[in-house]
Structure 1
Amino acid sequence: MKIKTKLILSLSLIFALTITLAGLGIWQLRQMASDTGNILVANYNSLDYSRNMYKVLDEGGADFNKEKFRGFLNKQLNNLTEVGEQEFTIELKEDFEAYLLEPTPQKAVEIRGDLNSIMKLNMDAIKRKSLRAEATAEHSILWLSFASSFCLIIGFTLLVNLPGYIANPIHELTESIKQIAAKNYSQRVHNKGNDEFSTLAKSFNTMAEKLEEYSSSDLAKLMIEKKRIETLINNLSDPIIGLDDTNKVLFINEQALQITGLGNQDIIGQQAESLALKNDLLRTLLQKMLDENAISENLKIYANNKESHFEQLMVPINIIPTGESDKKRIGTFLILRNITAYKELDTAKTNFIATVSHEFKTPIASMKMSLQLLENEKTGSLNEEQLSLLEGLRDDTERLLRTTGELLNITQVETGKAQFMIEDFDIVPILNKALHSNEKLAERKEIRLVLSEPGALPNVMADRVKSEWILSNLLSNAIRYSYDNSEVGIKVSLTPTHVEIAVQDSGIGIAEEYHDKVFEKYFRVPGNEKEGTGLGLSISKEFINAMGGYLKMSSEIGTGSVFIAGFRIEA
């Protein structure tokens, strides 16, 4: 039988018992009310009429009020309810009529005897009916007691058994689920019957059997996979250390053991913090792992009989446990990627660029001097076509010289050889020099350089030459990327710690997806056909950061770009 059916039947039984008990009580009360009503109405009236007739006789003596007596007598004639009462009442009437014809004391005595008979008859009736009412009351109490006891037994039985019938299987199922969660897949739920709990128990047992089979059959496979993963990790060329959620060492491959100088038996299962107290490299790795704000820097470690470069990677292992929605960290991989070969190639590239750029500067300077001599009228006059060719050569020479300068600057930044002469000075003259050096470039495109007149400004702490280079680069970029016959805005403002110079171009703007990349080396916005090496902004940012300033930008497609250089104020 289904649980729903059992609940409906149990509640229906309680409802039926309640209705029966209420109906029985109402019926018994009606019986008692009926018996009591009989006593109060019929017999009480007869006694009242008889008593009133006695009173008439006693008050009047031989000359009592006959009409009043007759009135009560007529009422008595209409209230004949007991057996024998009619005969006594008729006899009373006959004696009364006889008294009216012959009013003698004997007739009065007979009338009194008739009244006594009627009163005795009704008194006996009242007593009898009282006994019957008492019997009815006792009978009612008996029936109500029996019915109440029966309902109480049924209700108590349901109260004791029904909650247990529902709660016990749920409790058993809950405990079994806990056992399954604890990987005790041999747990079973024993519930016989054809209700929903039995169906649920069968489904649960089927699930537990399948989990037990899966656990038993895949254990060997899991061990094999574990060995395979350990072998794979040991054969990796990069050092790897695995930690659990409490930073205990789970595994470490051979490369990590060699580079840290630890033994496998000394590290597995121990707290990484304890091991770091005796190992500088491990301490450095843990500090960077635990400090979320730490700047990621490459590590120089002596390995393979030479100074090697390693990139540190922190790979958190997060999972979403079954039945939950939030991620939980179960461990971390510490990986040291050997980038020595790439570093050596990068160094070779930097040295090559520096050498080539340096070698280019001398012939380029000679070319520039030769062009200046040709432009001098003392060496001979040139026609319009020759002057046009000469102007093109001058532009190409300037561009080649600028590119060579950028290459030399980037090599200085990469090798750490860039030198800065930090001093305090007024930035406005430096800005004016940068504007002057870019006036001809602006005139060719008919672009107006609009400078918002700055007010009184404090001196800045920076390198004069590097500052002029930065501002000139920002201005030349703004001019190159602005449309012809437009303007480039320059605004100088003051913050509590820096003097800011904002350069606003009138170009197409830069898409938001490229904002984080514009300061990377050699990066150029896709689709841009303007000339350039993609080094100017990268060099500018390196220079101004080294001087305690900053370089930032904002841009939207269709509105142009704004580059803001912040120069540190003298403390």
Structure 2
Amino acid sequence: MVTTIKTKLFIGLVFLFIVIICFGVLGIFYVKRLSSDAGMILKDNHISVEFCNYMFKALNELPGDTTQLAIFDKNLRLQEHNITEPGEFEATADVRALFDELRKDPAAFTAYKELRKDIFKVIDVNQAAIIHKNLIAANTASQATLWLTIIVSILSLAAFAFILNFPSVLSRPIHLLTEGIQEIAKKNYSKRIHLDQKNEFGILANTFNAMAQKLDEYEHSNLAEIRLEKSRIEAIINKMNNGIIGLNEKRQILFFNSEAEKLFGLKEKDITGKYASDIALQNDLLRTVLQSGEKKTLKIYLDNKEGYFEQESIVIQTDNGVGGQVIMLKNITPFKELDAAKTNFIATISHELKTPLFAIKMSTQLLDDKRIGELNTDQREILESLKKNTERLLKITGELLNLSQVESGRIQLQKEATQPAMIVERALQAVQQLAAQSQVQLKQNVGTNLPAINIDEEKTTWVLINLLSNAIKYSSENGSVEIKAEKINNQLIFSVADRGKGIHAQYVTHVFDKYFKVPGSNESTSTGLGLSISKEFIEAQGGSIWVKSEYGSGSTFGFNFLLNS
């Protein structure tokens, strides 16, 4: 028969309820019985004794005080109505007979002694009854004590046994189940729970054992496959041309592929399981890699050859937070070599083009000189087109030469103390003709008593000219462009503001990217290099370049220098 936990709880609670009911009913029964015995003594016998005492008191006042006859008669009548014991009626009748004689002639009555004796007889009968009933009450109390003691002892033993056994019925299975769950959490899938019970706990234990069996089977069935996949992944990682380092959440080294061994001069078997920070104390390259950010280009000398590696760090996220990190060093030396070759090619071509372009420019200037001869309308249109294209080619070759300096990392700076007003003046002179052709008004706002600053005058002026040229191009006819130089706190700030259509917010962060052109600008003559080169020139001098733009309201480009730099 299957006894469920619910049934056991019900039986236990019913048992406790029966204990309470039995003890309460027995107690109430004996209390009422004792109360009844005591009530009988008070009601039947003690009151009769009181009546007799009142008659004695009245008799003592006679024959002098005849008013006591009425008191005696009253108590005698009450006694006659409270006769409950054998012999009490006869004794009371004797008292009545003598009292009637006394009432007829109190002065002649002489049987006071006999009357007192008869009253004493009534008292003796009731006192004897009191003693007898008291013994009955005492016997009842003894019986009550005995039975209550027996019942309390039996119920106490039963309750004690219940207390000892019943909690274990619940606690032992729970304890075993808790222990089993803890073992499963530790991946001890061989744990089993043995409960010889046919209740819910037994069913739960069987279910737990079935679950543990399935987990154990799953663990062992996948172990070989997992090991195979691990070996496969390790083989793939070791065959990769990139140096790869794996760290766990405690920054301990998990794997170190063969390419990483070459780069760092370390052996995987010697460092696996050790803290990366401890190994880095003796290895400068590893220390640099661990201290670097998520992306960085490193120059590493390997096999007596300079190589470039791009570092990329991947943080592995788990449900509990950071689960580790994978650091990759990608060999980008071939790309750097190609980039250097491209830069040298651009620099060479741009340099070679400048000479014939200058010759063409001088020739167009000579042709434009009226002293050589007058040109007809068609010839002048061709000459103007030639001059514009020559200027465009000269600008492009100039930007390409500047770009080659930037990309090669050989930006040559000639810093000297320079007045901000002079830079603004030179930049304005360079764009006066462009502004007049575009019918754009130039405004300048240069602060007074601006301090000289140690910068490269030529490159800074080039940047300012580039910003002014862009502002003029994107301004509407009869518009205005304002150039400003001012000192704010410890910074010298140059800025160029136009009232053109501005730049969409999604493009603002890309305007300084190489070859970037704002979509829809319709600027076919731009190479997309001017702002990128400007950024490199300013940052090479320790300054910072910026832009603020609101579409439909115009743009403001500027750059800052610290005065104490």
TM bucket, shorter chain: 0.7 to 0.9
Q: Which residue of 1 aligns with 2:100?
A: 97
For normalisation by structure 2, the TM-score amounts to 0.88
1:424 correspondence with 2:427:
no
| Distance change >3 Å, CA 93–CA 312, structure 1 → 2 | same
Equivalent residue, structure 1, for 2:32: 30
TM-score, normalising length: structure 1: 0.87
Give, in angstroms, the shift of residue 57 of structure 1: 0.4
| Deviations 1:149-185 (CA, angstroms, capped at 9, x unpaired) | 4454444344433443333222222222222233321
Query: How far 1:22 moved relative to its partner?
Result: 3.9
How many angstroms does 1:51 deviate by?
A: 0.2
For residue 75 of structure 1, what is the aligned residue in structure 2? 78
Query: How many residues in Structure 1 have an aligned counterpart in Structure 2?
Result: 560
1:520 to 513, 518, 534: 513
**Structure 2 partner of 1:310:** 309
Distance 1:489 1:200, change over 3 A: farther
Alignment of 1:263-412 (within 5 A): 263=267, 266-269=270-273, 272-273=276-277, 275-276=279-280, 282-289=283-290, 291=291, 296-303=296-303, 306-320=305-319, 326-330=320-324, 332-381=325-374, 391-412=384-405
- Note if contact 2:446-2:486 (Cα within 8 Å) is conserved in structure 1: no
The CA deviation string for residues 385-421 of structure 1, in whole angstroms up to 9 with x for no partner, is 7666655544443333222211111110111221111
Judging changes above 3 Å, is the alpha-carbon distance between structure 1 residues 61 and 310 closer, same or farther for their aligned structure 2 residues? same
Amino acid in the other structure paired with 1:96:
F
Residue 525 of structure 1 and its aligned partner are, at CA, apart by 3.5
1:516 CA drift (Å): 4.1
- The question of 1:458 aligning with 2:461 is answered no
Worse overlay, 169-178 or 453-462: 453-462
Letter in 2 for 1:352: F
Aligned-partner residue type, residue 553 of structure 1: V
1:5, distance to aligned residue in structure 2 (A) = 4.3
1:568 and 1:12 map into 2 onto residues whose CA distance is 90
CA distance in 2, matches of 1:443, 1:233: 64
Q: CA deviation at 1:219?
A: 1.9
1:480-528, Cα deviation, whole Å (9 max, x unpaired)? 3445554444444434432122333434444444444332222234444
Q: Which runs of 5+ in 2 are unaligned?
A: none
Cα offset for 1:354?
A: 1.0
Letter in 1 for 2:302: Y
How many angstroms apart in 2 are the aligned matches of 1:98 and 1:384?
182
The letter for the 1-side match of 2:356 is: P
| Amino acid corresponding to residue 52 of structure 1 in structure 2 | Y
Distance in 2, Cα, partners of 1:302 & 1:425: 45
Alignment of 1:44-123 (within 5 A): 44-61=46-63, 64=66, 65-101=68-104, 103=106, 107-123=111-127
Amino acid at match of 1:60: L
Q: C-alpha distance in 2, partners of 1:255/1:85? A: 128
**Larger deviation: 502-511 or 217-226?**
502-511
Residue pair 1:462, 1:568 contacting (<8 A) in 2 also: no
Q: Which moved more, 1:465-474 or 1:18-27?
A: 18-27
Determine which of 172, 192, 195 is the counterpart of 1:191: 195
5 Å-filtered alignment, 1:181-220, equals: 181-220=185-224
- Counterparts of residues 3-42 of structure 1 (less than 5 Å): 3-42=5-44
Identify the match of residue 251 of structure 1 among 250, 255, 261.
255
Aligned position for 2:544: 550
User: Which amino acid letter does the alignment assign opposite residue 68 of structure 1?
Assistant: I
Q: Could you list the per-position Cα deviations for residues 270-306 of structure 1 after superposition, in whole angstroms to 9, with x for gaps in the alignment?
A: 555555555xxx43133331x2569823223234x74
What is the distance in 1 between the residues matched to 2:7 and 2:495?
81
SS in structure 2 of the partner of residue 438 of structure 1 = helix
SS in 2 for 1:567: strand
1:448/1:487 contact within 8 Å kept: yes
Q: Which stretch shows the higher mean deviation, 351-360 or 407-416? A: 351-360
What is the Cα deviation at residue 551 of structure 1? 1.3
